[in-house]
Amino acid sequence: MVIETNSPEETYQAGMRLGEKAEAGQVFTLMGDLGVGKTVFTQGLAKGLGIEEPVNSPTFTIVQVYDGGRLPFYHFDVYRIGDVEEMDEVGFDDYVMGDGVSLIEWADLIEEILPDKRTKILIEKDLERGFDYRRITVTQVG
Ligand code: ADP
Ligand code: MG
C-alpha cells in the first residue's frame, strides 16, 4: 500500500489510521531519512491507539513505553545504537513478543534481530513533487 501526503497533518492522519487498526503484538518498523516524518507518523499512530500523552523521539532512552491507550505502545528509536546487544539489555524481545504494539524507528540498524512478521513502513521525499510531499509505503512481511 502506498500513501502520498503533502503536509505533516496528512502524515499524522496516515499514522493514526494504522494505529486505530493495530492489533496486539503488532510490530511496525519505520525507515526513512532524518527529517522525513518518522516522528510525525509515530505521533499519529500513538493517537490512533488512543494515547493522549505527547509522543516524542526517545532520544536518551532506546525505548519509551506508553500505557494510556487501547494497547501498550513501545516506541523505539535505535538511531544511536552502537551494537545490537544493547537491545538485549533493554529487553527488546520481551517487548516485540508481548501484547503491546511496537514501533521501531531506524529499524534497519537492527535488521538481524527484527521479528520475521512485521509491518514495514518506508517514508520518502520526492523533491520534484514539492518540499512537503512524502510517499509512505506500507508492506506486510512474514
Ligand atoms: P524524523 O523523525 O523522520 O527525523 P520528523 O517527524 O521529526 O522527522 O520531522 C519531519 C519534518 O518534516 C517536520 O518538520 C514536518 O513539519 C516536516 N514535513 C513537511 N511535510 C511533511 C509531510 N508530508 N509529512 C511529514 N512531515 C512533513
Ligand atoms: Mg524522529
Residue 82 has pLDDT above 90, yes or no: no
Please report the pLDDT score of residue 12 as a whole number.
Answer: 98
Across 1-15, 56-70, 82-96, least confident range: 56-70
Q: Domain 2-141 adopts which CATH fold?
A: Rossmann fold (3.40.50)
- Alpha helices of the chain — where are they, by DSSP H? 8-21, 38-48, 85-89, 92-96
Q: How far is the CA of 71 from the centre of ligand 2 (A)?
A: 22
- Which region, left, alpha or beta, applies to residue 136 given φ > 0 means left and ψ of -120 to 50 means alpha? beta
Domain ranges in the chain are 2-141
Rounded Cα distance between 47 and 19, Å, is: 7
Look at the block and give the residue holding cell 526517545: 58
Please report the pLDDT score of residue 60 as a whole number.
Answer: 74
Q: Which residues contact 81 (CB under 8 A, 6 or more apart)?
A: 62, 87, 106, 109, 110
Residues flanking ligand 1, CB < 6 Å = 5-8, 10-11, 32, 34-40, 132, 134
Arithmetic mean of pLDDT, 73-93 = 91
Tally the C-alpha atoms within 13 A of residue 54's C-alpha that lie toward its C-beta: 2
Q: How far is the CA of 32 from the centre of ligand 2 (A)?
A: 9
Q: How far is the CA of 137 from the centre of ligand 1 (A)?
A: 16
Please report the pLDDT score of residue 61 as a whole number.
Answer: 83
Nearest CA to ligand 1 atom 18: 8
Residue 57 has pLDDT above 80, yes or no: no
Considering the entire predicted model, what is its pTM? 0.95
Residue 74 has pLDDT above 90, yes or no: yes
Mutate to test the pocket of ligand 1, among 29, 39, 40, 109 (most ligand atoms within 8 A of CB): 40
